[in-house]
């Protein structure tokens, strides 16, 4: 049995994976979904990493999954636990020394125009789930925005990138370009929007388990 460390994105929480966890369990695997301390102005990448490690405890067979902004924390955890696999789930792939606040310009990200927040992130998500996710959103006031990403290179563990074909925030073409340039990999693809763990949990679970 592998434990999946599921790391949420900006302003999110472990609840964002509440439909994915039972799908992983149905396939014989465990998961932890910690809430990163994003509401603490004194917390940064080190504290984010320690929060995930504390949730994992003494588990040794670990797969690390970083969704969206969780991509900055996921490889730090993967390096600590010698992860079986590291997965960027529509994830922000960092570069050594890069501050999260610099990532947007460095990657050439262009924000979508003319779309509401719901249209950017939740297209295809059942409306009641989209509403609850937005209601559960947390203010991110933590200090990592201006912290250089601390690793000298990406961890030496098997690494995959999984993009969502209907993602209007990190569009597929954008994600392909970043994955190729920063990891030298061709991302896999699945149906769904940016917040696909809410809309396509079974398909994502299948993909994640296949990486083992």
To the question of pTM greater than 0.95 for the whole model, the response is yes
pLDDT of residue 169: 97
Judge contact between 74 and 160, C-beta under 8 A: no
Res 53: pLDDT: 98
pLDDT at 141 (0 to 100): 98
Residue 209 neighbours by CB distance under 10 Å: 17
Write out the H or E segment, with its range, that includes residue 81. helix 74-81
Burial 18-35 (b: 16+ CB within 10 A, else e): bbbbebbeebebbbbbbe
In 3-state terms, the chain is what percent helix, strand and coil (to 5)? Answer: 40, 15, 45
pLDDT more than 70, % of the chain: 100
Q: Give the residue numbers spanning the domain of 46.
A: 3-210
pLDDT for position 155? 97
The string of pLDDT tens digits covering residues 149-160 is 999 999 999 999
Question: Phi/psi of residue 42, each to 5°?
Answer: -90, -5
Strand partners, 11: none
Q: How far apart are CA 165 and CA 184, in angstroms?
A: 20
pLDDT for the residue numbered 120: 95
pLDDT of residue 28: 98
Domain count, the chain: 1
CATH (domain of 19): 3.40.50.1820
pLDDT confidence of 206, banded at 50, 70, 90? very high
Beta bridge partner(s), residue 190: 164
Per-residue model confidence (pLDDT) at position 80: 97
The whole-angstrom separation of Cα 208 and Cα 197 is 12
Residue 132 confidence (pLDDT): 96
The proportion of the chain whose per-residue pLDDT surpasses 90, expressed as a percent, equals: 100
Average pLDDT over the chain, rounded to an integer: 97
Residue 132 Cα distances to 31, 115, 122, 182, 209, angstroms = 22, 19, 11, 34, 27
């Amino acid at each position: 049995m592998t434990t999946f460390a599921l790391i949420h994105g900006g302003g999110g929480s472990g609840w964002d994976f509440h439909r994915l966890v039972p799908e992983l369990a149905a396939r014989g695997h465990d998961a932890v979904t910690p809430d990163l301390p994003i509401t603490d102005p004194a917390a940064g990448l080190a504290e984010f990493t320690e929060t995930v490690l504390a949730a994992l405890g003494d588990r040794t067979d670990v797969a690390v999954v970083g969704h969206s902004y969780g991509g900055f924390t996921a490889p730090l955890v993967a390096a600590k636990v010698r992860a079986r696999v590291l997965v960027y789930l529509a994830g922000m792939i960092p570069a050594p020394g890069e501050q999260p606040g610099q990532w947007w310009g460095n990657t050439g990200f262009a924000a979508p125009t003319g779309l509401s927040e719901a249209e950017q992130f939740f297209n295809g998500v059942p409306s009641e789930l989209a509403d609850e996710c937005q209601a559960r959103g947390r203010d991110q006031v933590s200090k990592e925005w201006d912290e250089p990403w601390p690793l000298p290179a990406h961890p030496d563990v098997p690494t995959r990138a999984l993009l969502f074909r209907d993602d209007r925030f990190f569009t597929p073409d954008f994600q392909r370009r970043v994955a190729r340039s920063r990891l030298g990999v061709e991302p896999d693809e699945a149906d769904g929007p940016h917040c696909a763990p809410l809309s396509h949990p079974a398909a994502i679970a299948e993909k994640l388990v296949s990486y083992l």
